[in-house]
Amino acid sequence: MRLYFRWKLFFGFFGFAVGVAALLVAWLLLEVSRGHLFGGESEPVGELGQWLLHFLSWALLVLALVSIPPALWIASRLNRPIRLLDRAMKEASRGNLECPVPPLRTYDEFENLIGHFNLMLAGLRELGSLRAERDRFLAHSLDLIGLAGTDGYFKEVNPAFQRVLGHSADLMLSKPFLEFVHPDDVPATEGEFEKLIQGIPTLSFVNRYRCADGSYRWLEWSAAPVPQQRLVFAIARDITDRKRMEQAEESLIESRLQLRIARDIQRSLLPAAAPVLDGFDIAGASRPAEEVGGDYFDYLPMCHGRLGLVVSDVAGHGIGAGLVMAATRSMLRALAMADCDLEVILERTNRMLHESTPDNCFVTLALSQLDPAERRLRWVSCGHPASYLLDRTGLTKARLDATAPPLGFLEDFAAGPVLELALEPGDVLVMLTDGVLEAESPQEQIFGDQRALEVVRANLHLPAAGIVDALHEAAREFCQARETKDDATSLVVKVGQCS
C-alpha cells in the first residue's frame, strides 16, 4: 500500500501528540491521587487505584524507553531518500553527473522524485555529451564561427579565428570587428551588418580581414540574425587561395588577350604576300613557338628597283623578342628605302639596336639584295645560320655563311665583305632560321642542314610556297608533333626564265 510522505508525517506528529497527552493524563492522575492539585485533604485512593497509577507510570516509562530505537530507525528510514538526494545533488553541482540515486521502494513521493532526478542526470549527461561534441566541432572546424552582438563586438569566436587570422580570442572580443576589416571593405560591411540587425540574413558576403602579421585574408560570410537575443550568428570561410586563383586566372586571361593582340599586330608586320617579280618566284613563312615570336622575314623595297630579302632571329622568344623584332623591322625598312648600301644599312641598324636594347639582346640576320634586272644577288649575314644557293639539279652552288657578328651585340660593328652571286634559271635560294635547323626529335636528334636540303631537293618541282610548306611540315614531323622550342622561319627564292 502506498502511503504518501505527508501522511507519514501526519501520523508521526499525531502519535507524538497522543503520547504526550497520555503522559500528561498519567501525571494528572498521579497528582490527584496525592491530593496535590486541591487545597485541603481528600480521601486517599484505594489500593487498587494506587497500584494502577504505579503500573501506568512504569508502563509509560518502559514504553518510552522501548520506543526510542524504533523511532530512530523509522526517522532514519524516512530521512534516507532525503540524504541520498542531497548527496547526489552536491555531486552534480560539482560536475559529477555519474551519481544517480539508487532506486528505493519508499511507497511515497520520493520514488517519483528519485526517478525524476535520475532522468534529469541522464538528460544532463546527454546535454554534456552534445556540448562536448559541439565544442569539438568548434575547436576543429576549418570555418570561422562566431557570435556577434548588435553593438558590433564579437561575443564568442572559435579557435579557427586564431588559426586563420593569428589574433587571440581575447583580442577579437575586445575590439569592434570593423577594426579588423580592410578599410576599402568597411562601407560594404557596415551596410551588410545593418541588414542583419533588421533581420535580413547574409549569404556569401566577401570582405578582407587583417591578420596579426598585417596581411589580409579574404573571408566569405554567411550570417543569420537572432533578434530575441540581439545577436548575429556568423560563419566565414577562408577563400584567399580561391581569390588568388581567380585573380591569377583573370591576369592570365588578360595576358592571353594581350598576347593575342600582340600576335595579331606582329602578323600584320609580316608580309601579307610575296612581291611579284618577272622571272622570280618568292615565298616565306614564319611560325612562332609562342603567341609572339622573335623571328622575322621581310621583303624590303630598295632604290633602283632592287628588292631586299631578310630573314632574322631575335635572341629568345615571346613578347620581348617580338618587340625587338618590330623595332628591327622598322629600322631596316626606313634605312632600305633611303640607302642601297647593305653595309651602311646594317651598321646603322646595329648602332640603334645597341643603344636601345639590353646588353644580352642581339639579333642574327641574313640580308640579301636581289637585282631583278641584272639577275644578281648581293649577300651579307650577321651571325645567322648558313643559307644555301642550289642549282636546278639540287647541287649546292654556294653555302652562304655569316660574314659579321650579330646586330646589337657590339658597339664597334663592321658588316664584313659583301658577297655577289650571279643567278641562273633554276637556281633556288634557301634562307632559314635555327628554329627549322635545330628542330629536335624525341631521341634528341637535330633536324640539321642536310635534312633541310634533302627536303628542298625532293620538292624542287614545287613552287617556292610549296617548298616552304614542305620544310615546315618536315621539321614538325621530325619533332613528332612535340611542341617546338623556337620560332621557325624560312624564305625561298626560285629563279625562273625572264619573260
CATH number of the domain within which 150 lies: 3.30.450.20
Evaluate if residue 38 carries a pLDDT over 60.
no
Position 19 in a domain: no
Amino acid at 450: Q
Q: Are residues 220 and 175 in the same domain?
A: yes
283 or 69, higher pLDDT: 283
Helix (H) or strand (E) holding 7: helix 5-34
Q: Are strands 419-422 and 387-390 parallel, antiparallel or unpaired?
A: unpaired
The answer to whether the CB of 144 falls within 8 A of the CB of 157 is yes
Q: Are residues 119 and 152 in the same domain?
A: no
Phi/psi at 36 (5° precision): -80, -20
Structural domain harbouring 358: 270-495
When pLDDT is averaged across residues 308-323 and rounded to a whole number, the result is: 81
pLDDT for the residue 62: 66
How far apart CA 351 and CA 367 sit, in angstroms, is 17
pLDDT for the residue 321: 76
pLDDT for the residue 378: 94
486 or 387, higher pLDDT: 387
Position 342 in a domain: yes
Q: Are residues 309 and 345 in the same domain?
A: yes
Strand, coil or helix: what is 84?
helix
Helix (H) or strand (E) holding 231: strand 231-238
Q: Are residues 128 and 145 in the same domain?
A: no
Domain boundary among 238, 261, 295: 238
What's the 3-state SS for 455-486? HHHHCCCCCHHHHHHHHHHHHHHHCCCCCCCC
Complete DSSP assignment for 302-362: -GGG-EEEEEEEESS-SHHHHHHHHHHHHHHHHHHHH---HHHHHHHHHHHHHHHS-TT--
How far apart CA 223 and CA 205 sit, in angstroms, is 9
pLDDT for the residue 55: 64
- Please write the tens of the pLDDT for every residue from 130-178: 777 877 777 778 899 999 999 999 999 999 999 999 999 999 999 999 9
Position 160 in a domain: yes
Q: Are residues 231 and 155 in the same domain?
A: yes
Position 437 in a domain: yes
283 or 64, higher pLDDT: 283
When pLDDT is averaged across residues 13-21 and rounded to a whole number, the result is: 64
Strand, coil or helix: what is 105?
coil
Domain boundary among 90, 115, 132: 132
pLDDT for the residue 42: 46
How far apart CA 90 and CA 320 sit, in angstroms, is 82
Number of domains in the chain: 3
Q: Are residues 279 and 425 in the same domain?
A: yes
Closest CA to 435 of 365, 486, 490, 362: 486
Q: Are residues 213 and 283 in the same domain?
A: no
pLDDT for the residue 426: 93
| Rounded percentage of the chain residues whose pLDDT exceeds 90 | 39
How far apart CA 367 and CA 379 sit, in angstroms, is 6
> What's the pLDDT band for 46 if we cut at 50, 70, 90?
low
Q: Are residues 225 and 353 in the same domain?
A: no
Q: Are residues 321 and 440 in the same domain?
A: yes
pLDDT for the residue 1: 43
> What's the pLDDT band for 196 if we cut at 50, 70, 90?
very high
**Domain harbouring 275, CATH code:** 3.60.40.10
Domain boundary among 109, 132, 155: 132
Position 39 in a domain: no
Q: Are residues 302 and 353 in the same domain?
A: yes
- Please write the tens of the pLDDT for every residue from 293-302: 678 899 999 9
| Global confidence as pTM | 0.56
Q: Are residues 225 and 105 in the same domain?
A: no
First CA to last CA distance, the chain:
139
Closest CA to 435 of 310, 315, 333: 315
Q: Are residues 304 and 342 in the same domain?
A: yes
141 or 310, higher pLDDT: 310
pLDDT for the residue 289: 73
pLDDT for the residue 324: 84
Residue 377: strand pairing partners = 370, 421
Evaluate if residue 282 carries a pLDDT over 70.
yes
The answer to whether the CB of 428 falls within 8 A of the CB of 493 is yes
> What's the pLDDT band for 218 if we cut at 50, 70, 90?
very high
The answer to whether the CB of 484 falls within 8 A of the CB of 472 is no
> What's the pLDDT band for 72 if we cut at 50, 70, 90?
low
pLDDT for the residue 39: 47
